[in-house]
Structure 1
Amino acid sequence: MELDSEPHILLTNDDGIDAPGIRALHDALSAVGTVTVVAPDRNRSAVGRSLSYGRTRSSDDDFSIDLETDSFTSPVPHTDHELGYAVDGTPCDCAIVGTKGLEPEPDIVVSGCNSGANLGAYVFSRSGTVSAAMEAAFLETPSIAVSMDTLGYDRDLEPADFERTGEITADLVAGVPGTGLFDRVDYLNVNVPRPDREPNGFELTRPTEIYEMDAAFENGAFQLTNRLWQQMANRDIPDAEDTDRHALLKERVSISPLRVPYEVVDTEPVQRILEDVL
């Protein structure tokens, strides 16, 4: 990504356009580029890479596939907002309409700042924050997903709490052009320590592949237990030192350089197996 002028930045999130994290990033990024905000009109956390495309709304909470449509175009309703556009849709809807529906097209997409870290390979298809960055990467637009750890931070978050995260994000956006970084990677997943903890530098990481969810059926009800966050709270994790979770527990900014899935495996062994099976 090489630019002759300040970058055009598309800013989105999954916490909703009124969340304090996106306000802080908007203010910080406005100092290094032209910012256009296209974000969900309400909280859309953990919706992953879901889209509104091909669906019609039959009620506020119910979607149904319209099998009778003769069009491959679906509306994505929005309202104007002081920061930009509040979209009645998902983070990936926002990434698509923001990269392809506005002029000029953005040079880079920033998704965040999420209230809560997004760590581990398992989270990428679940997190709306990371999914928006991934969607932009699929559309060949460089992108950065930004999240801030809030585990144990027990007071209401305000834009000021994200100020340091905004500065880090602005430094990345301003410093990337001309480096060739996005010739090598498609997007970055950035996780910043809690606002009441001083970062101890940054570390390039790989997403942990450890995934530990437990379930139980007790007293007539199902329950889920997230062992990963339980470990984080106890500061006792089994992850290797080069992983994102490990870096965050050392109070370091975790930066995972990633390429969009899916990497094609060596097909010869698969071919042999399937020839025997099919």
Structure 2
Amino acid sequence: MELDSEPHVLLTNDDGIDAPGIRALADALSTVGTVTVVAPDRNRSAVGRSLSYGRTRSSTGDELSIDLSDSAFTVPVPHTDHELGYAVDGTPCDCTIVGINALESTPDIVVSGCNSGANLGAYVFSRSGTVSAAMEAAFLETPAIAMSMDTLGYDKELEPADFERAGEIAAALVGGAPGTGLFDRLDYLNVNVPRPDREPNGFAVTRPTRVYEMDATHEDGGFQLTNRLWQQMANRDIPDPEDTDRHALLEDQVSISPLRVPFEVENTSPVRNVLEDLL
């Protein structure tokens, strides 16, 4: 990302356009670039990389089946004007696609967040709307940053001021990236900031932890899911290696994971050999 002028930033999130985290980032990023906000009109957390594509409806509002006519491959994504930008009736990935392709000025970089709650671990990337919006940008060959802030155990109601540290970090990354070649080496960054009431302890370049544990039980005729990792994190007792994102955050460091979009296959020969034996 090499620019002759200040960067044009597309800002989105999954908490909704009225969330305090996106307000804080809009203010901070406006000090280093031109900011266009395209964000969901309501909370769309944990929708992953889902799209509104295929959301065709009849005049009565009933779902229509997909056919092979031209209209089947185009779907309206309603929006309303908002003081920050565009409030979209859609998902975070919808917002990224719209912001990159449908606006008059193409963004130089996409920032997603700042999410209320950390997004840590490899397992979360396909689940988090915040990270998915950045990943969508990467697939569309646009550099991106996903910003999240730990809020576990933070009981006060969040305000834009609570995201000040996240805003400063986002502005430093966006404002300083042009000319460094940073995004020649990666597709997107996943950044996690400690709680606002924790003393900062620098930053760490991390990898997403692969430690994952979800539990399910059948009790009293119903199923229940329990996230053991969040239980452990609340107790600040996580079995993650020192170079991982969750370990860094529990050390009150800003975790920065440099990532490439997934599903790249480097060596298919071993798989081919096995399949040839099977098939």
Shorter-chain TM-score: which interval? over 0.9
Q: Distance in 2 between matches of 1:221 and 1:211?
A: 23
Corresponding position of 2:173: 172
Residue 66 of structure 1 deviates from its aligned partner by 2.9
Residues 3-36 of structure 1 deviation map (CA, whole Å, 9 limit, x = unaligned):
1111000000000000000000000001110000
Residues 201-235 of structure 1 deviation map (CA, whole Å, 9 limit, x = unaligned):
00000000011000000001110000111111111
Given the superposition, is the C-alpha separation of residues 175 and 235 from structure 1 closer, same or farther in structure 2, using an over 3 Å criterion? same
Given the superposition, is the C-alpha separation of residues 212 and 202 from structure 1 closer, same or farther in structure 2, using an over 3 Å criterion? same
Are the counterparts in 2 of residues 55 and 66 from structure 1 also a CA contact under 8 Å?
no
Residue ranges of structure 1 left out of the alignment (5+ in a row):
none
Counterpart of 1:52, as a letter, is S
Counterpart of 1:193, as a letter, is P
Given the superposition, is the C-alpha separation of residues 259 and 62 from structure 1 closer, same or farther in structure 2, using an over 3 Å criterion? farther
Q: Distance in 2 between matches of 1:62 and 1:192?
A: 43
Once structures 1 and 2 are overlaid, which stretch shifts more, 178-187 or 261-270?
Answer: 261-270
Partner of 2:70: helix, strand, or coil? coil
Residue 200 of structure 1 deviates from its aligned partner by 0.3
Given the superposition, is the C-alpha separation of residues 239 and 54 from structure 1 closer, same or farther in structure 2, using an over 3 Å criterion? same
Partner of 1:150: helix, strand, or coil? coil
Residues 141-171 of structure 1 deviation map (CA, whole Å, 9 limit, x = unaligned):
0000000000000011011111111011101
Q: Distance in 2 between matches of 1:154 and 1:169?
A: 24
| Number of corresponding residues | 278
Identity of aligned residues (%): 83
Corresponding position of 1:97: 98
Corresponding position of 1:44: 44
Corresponding position of 2:133: 132
Given the superposition, is the C-alpha separation of residues 95 and 63 from structure 1 closer, same or farther in structure 2, using an over 3 Å criterion? farther
Residue ranges of structure 2 left out of the alignment (5+ in a row):
none
Residues 53-81 of structure 1 deviation map (CA, whole Å, 9 limit, x = unaligned):
1222469x986543364322211110000
TM, length-normalised to structure 1: 0.97
Partner of 1:56: helix, strand, or coil? coil
Corresponding position of 2:19: 19
Report matched runs for 1:68-87 at 5 Å.
69-71=69-71, 72-87=73-88
Report matched runs for 1:258-269 at 5 Å.
258-269=259-270
Given the superposition, is the C-alpha separation of residues 255 and 65 from structure 1 closer, same or farther in structure 2, using an over 3 Å criterion? farther
Corresponding position of 1:123: 124
Corresponding position of 2:258: 257
Q: Distance in 2 between matches of 1:113 and 1:67?
A: 38
Corresponding position of 1:33: 33
Residue 276 of structure 1 deviates from its aligned partner by 1.1
Counterpart of 1:234, as a letter, is N
Partner of 1:119: helix, strand, or coil? coil
Counterpart of 2:6, as a letter, is E
Partner of 1:274: helix, strand, or coil? helix
Report matched runs for 1:118-197 at 5 Å.
118-197=119-198
TM, length-normalised to structure 2: 0.96
Residues 158-196 of structure 1 deviation map (CA, whole Å, 9 limit, x = unaligned):
111111110111011001110001000000000000001
Counterpart of 2:22, as a letter, is I
